Amino acid sequence: MQQVTTDPVELQAGTAILHVSPAAGGSITRYASAHDGRTVEWMRPALPDAIRTRSAGSTSSFPLVPFSNRVRDAAFRFRGRTIQLAATAPAPHALHGHGWRQPWTVVSQRASGLALVYRHAADAWPWTYRAEQHFDLTAERLTIRFVVTNESQDPMPVGFGVHPYYVRTPQVRFRAGVGQMWRTDANAMPTDLVAPPAELPFGGTGLSPDATVLDNNFLAFGGRARVEWPEWNAALEIVSDPVYSCLVIYTPEGRDFFCAEPVTNCIDAFNLADQGRTDTGLIVLDPGDTAAGDVRFTPVLGL
């Protein structure tokens, strides 16, 4: 194990740089590269106090484990057992799991690579598990490999993913292959599945984050998405492994960012699965089993 003496850890490959903060939830705090005398920020740079306050929500991207997004009323049933989690204030729901609010440990480090681990002992979440993030930076792309292992004696439901923030400019467009979307209630909880409406042009001209306010989960995510910044003459290709079958899109009103999150499970997957749905992306790991998947971010210059 190589000990890290600074936080964030800086990786470099060619002109590409990646900063990762083990203390702030194992989060990325900067991903950028230089081209022809200018620097392109491929994710929103972390806010100034993100590391000091360990605020993963103020970073560039943070990990989601052992579930992504919300669990309704912070409770669910699994195989006849009721699991009561802690609510994430101010909402009554549990949000984003554990990893984003806990420090991660550096287990290996090199100039262009970093491996972090977070181990969770059973508590209100009655399973012990190990989560790993492996960051591999090249001059051409960033790859994040997520690994989750059930270290308890009972089967464990699980989901995981990444929560990147992208810079929101007047001309930015987002494209993705998606199937149905969950319509949501006033608490952004899923109610029923519908086809994406015509005003969400994920193909063709692409989606403007300013066009509509979204906090929705899309199923049948094809694993490919693209953020385009015409004013920068730049784009970011996002390719994820099939285990990331869902995509959460978050376009809050009046903010300088938006999010497109490759995740394995849909919002409130545990409760939806308990109701008999089979399209939630929920993974069940037997004792000792592991689930893993890569998300690759590839910068493109010239549109």
The pLDDT tens digits of the residues spanning 129-182 come to 999 999 999 999 999 999 999 999 999 999 999 999 999 999 999 999 888 999
Residues 6 or more apart in contact with residue 293 via CB below 8 angstroms: 145, 146, 160, 240, 241, 242, 243, 244, 264
End-to-end Cα, the chain, rounded Å: 42
Residue 100 pLDDT exceeds 50: yes
Rounded mean pLDDT of 3-21?
A: 89
Which pLDDT score, from 0 to 100, does residue 1 have?
43
Q: What does the domain layout of the chain look like in residue ranges?
A: 9-301
Which pLDDT score, from 0 to 100, does residue 201 have?
86
Rounded mean pLDDT of 200-223?
A: 89
Query: How far apart (Å, rounded) are the C-alpha atoms in residues 30 and 55?
Result: 14
Rounded mean pLDDT of 14-40?
A: 96
Distance (Å) of CA 244 to CA 42, 102, 123, 160, 225: 21, 23, 27, 8, 12
**Cis upstream peptide for 22 (omega within 30°):** no
- The answer to whether the beta carbons of residues 44 and 165 sit under 8 Å apart is yes
- The answer to whether the beta carbons of residues 63 and 25 sit under 8 Å apart is yes
With cut-offs at 50, 70 and 90, classify the pLDDT of residue 187.
confident
Query: How far apart (Å, rounded) are the C-alpha atoms in residues 265 and 279?
Result: 9
What percent of the chain is modeled with pLDDT above 90? Answer: 85
What CATH architecture applies to the domain 9-301? Distorted Sandwich (2.70)
Task: Kindly tell me the burial class for residue 197, based on how many C-beta atoms sit within 10 Å of its own C-beta (0-12, 13-18, 19 or more).
Answer: exposed
Distance (Å) of CA 237 to CA 142, 143, 164, 217, 282: 10, 12, 13, 20, 26
Query: How far apart (Å, rounded) are the C-alpha atoms in residues 182 and 176?
Result: 16
Query: How far apart (Å, rounded) are the C-alpha atoms in residues 132 and 148?
Result: 6
Greater confidence (2 vs 79) lies with 79
Query: How far apart (Å, rounded) are the C-alpha atoms in residues 29 and 32?
Result: 10
Which pLDDT score, from 0 to 100, does residue 302 have?
83
Residue 90 pLDDT exceeds 60: yes
What percent of the chain is modeled with pLDDT above 70? Answer: 98
Query: How far apart (Å, rounded) are the C-alpha atoms in residues 11 and 225?
Result: 25
- The answer to whether the beta carbons of residues 100 and 27 sit under 8 Å apart is yes
Residue 228 pLDDT exceeds 90: yes
Which pLDDT score, from 0 to 100, does residue 5 have?
58
Average pLDDT, the chain: 94
Which pLDDT score, from 0 to 100, does residue 269 have?
96
Residue 186 pLDDT exceeds 90: no
- The answer to whether the beta carbons of residues 216 and 249 sit under 8 Å apart is yes
